[in-house]
Amino acid sequence: MTNSEKNRLKDKAFQVFGVFCTFIGLVVLAIFLIDIVIEGIGRIDWDFLTSLPSRRAARAGILTAWAGTLWILVLSALIAFPLGIAAGVYLEEYAKKTKLSNFLEINIANLAGVPSIIYGLLGLELFVRIMNLGGILLAGALTLSLLILPIIIVTTREAIKAVPRTIRDGSFALGASKWQTVWYQVLPASFGGILTGVILALSRAVGEAAPLIVIGALAYVPFVPSSPMDEFTVLPIQIFNWTSRPQAAFLTNAAAAIIILLLITFLLNGIAVYLRHRQQKKIKW
Amino acid sequence: MNIKHSKLEAINLDAYYGDFHALKNINIAMEEKAVTAFIGPSGCGKSTFLRTFNRMNDYIDGFRIEGQILLDGRDIYTNDVRVDELRKEVGMVFQKPNPFPKTIYENVVYGLRIQGIKDKKILQETCEKSLQQAALWNEVKDKLDKSALALSGGQQQRLCIARALAIQPSVILMDEPASALDPISTAKIEDLIYELKKDYTIVIVTHNMQQAGRVSDHTAFFYMGELVEYAKTKTMFTSPKDTRTQNYITGRFG
């Protein structure tokens, strides 16, 4: 075999290997999804969505769980959205390039990679104990806000960076202040990107169980929370709880709840993709 | 050179980017309602100099000036000068057309909106008047609510001029306003400059010697941060005094 033939063979071999690697992840995920859907789809009906939890698998529903998830979603968004955008705008538009701002930047990037259970412990100490909130919705939302804040800050900065310098110059040259330039030019032009980041961050928050278990969210909540001060559970905790039961019927319930949880995250991600696409179509620099 | 009424003036002006000495002891006075062109090779400091007149360099880390810049005899770098007020008086048009990603109408009235003017009648009248002054009205009057980004490059640049005119400045700074445009659009911008100098003091930076010859009354030649020569455009182009000027305008370098 000549050298060039050898090279061609190697090339081919790597290609096959690459395809194999790519498919391994997808196939495993697909098998998992199919398995879940077969197991759980039959269990999903109106009663399942609107029933309270129960000790008997056949009567148990996920009303309190998805209501709790919705509460957490909205509350976290309300808390993290303004904080994250304000911090991103400050770092990108206002902060002078000093050692302090460098230090802040590096740490925010690092925070985005901290395991969620650590945030749970922080939330437990800060919100549940020191602020004495207890394991209520507000404490959970605050904890998850901390978790997604770094992600929102980073994506906000990326989106703001994509707005060309010339737009800011144009605004300043007409007598606009920094704030006016940010408010009337930079934020509207980068809003699609920011929103995309926020939604993706929220879809991560929706799937979290660990930090909420740590702060003391309950697995069994026999009522729908009616205010941020109520105790709560969320879908991932409900799923976790059901999968640890010995009875097979609860596993079916868990599969059904997973489908609902996946639908929620897919929906959020879909909105994010749509917004990004619309933004790209609308603004071409 | 005799200046009848000096609108803008630099006195013993030095400018620095950190350690780099970008402008060296510049002294110049520019005539009101005339066009002054800054020419010179890339990096000679002409754009830096232009941007000192509306303090656009303020945002650059490490930039500082010594000396004075006078607008109507008043130093614009003293502490009591508000930059936003200064920029209402001294408008600017950039090299690359930079319309905001908004409608044509919103682009023109932006300067008024940030001043807090909400009266629809005033906004609409200013919009029409400014677009007419910028020779763009006939082309866009039926699509004021369309995105400015849909306009051609030349139209976008005239929109940027209209936007600058809307806040009624007395000076317009132009930083190579036609360098990104095709010849026909360039001719339109030059015609426009000729019209505008009846009412405005115009300072234009250009790389294009013919353009300086066509549009300007006075020309200043910059080289390595120095103002080498400043004269009536005709005089400069027919009988330059300095050999560096001569070499540059005859195309021997730059």
Q: What is the interface pTM, i.e. ipTM, of the complex?
A: 0.92
The residue-averaged pLDDT of B96-102 equals 94
Which two tokens mark B148?
A: 């400015």
Scanning every residue of chain B, which has its alpha carbon at the shortest distance from the alpha carbon of A94?
Answer: B59
B114 with A174: Cβ contact below 8 A: yes
Q: Which of A172, A176, A185 lies at the smallest CB-CB distance from B56?
A: A172
Cα–Cα distance for residue pair B181/B95, rounded to 1 Å: 10
Quick: pLDDT tens for B37-66: 999 998 899 999 999 999 999 888 889 999
B160 with A176: Cβ contact below 8 A: no
- Report the 10 Å Cβ neighbour count for B8: 23
Cα–Cα distance for residue pair B152/B144, rounded to 1 Å: 14
Inter-chain contacts counted by CB atoms under 8 A, chains A and B: 67
CB–CB of B173/B90 below 8 Å? yes
Instruction: Indicate whether A285 pLDDT > 60.
Output: no
Instruction: Indicate whether A172 pLDDT > 70.
Output: yes
- pLDDT classification of B93: cutoffs 50, 70, 90: very high
Quick: pLDDT tens for A175-214: 999 999 999 999 999 988 899 889 989 998 998 989 999 9
Quick: pLDDT tens for B9-35: 999 999 999 999 999 999 999 999 999
Residues in B whose CB is inside 8 Å of some CB of A read 54, 56, 59, 61, 83-85, 87-88, 91-92, 94, 96, 98-102, 110-111, 113-115, 149, 160, 163-164, 167
CB–CB of B156/B97 below 8 Å? yes
- CB < 8 Å to B99, chain A: 170
Cα A61 to Cα A125, A224, A251, B186: the distances in Å are 32, 12, 13, 71
B111 with A175: Cβ contact below 8 A: yes
Instruction: Indicate whether B72 pLDDT > 60.
Output: yes
CB–CB of B182/B154 below 8 Å? yes
DSSP readout, B111-176? Answer: HHHTTT---HHHHHHHHHHHHHHTT-HHHHTT-TTSBGGGS-HHHHHHHHHHHHHTT--SEEEEES
Is the model's pTM score more than 0.90? no
The residue-averaged pLDDT of A121-146 equals 91
* R_g over Cα of chain A: 23
- pLDDT of A56 reads 82
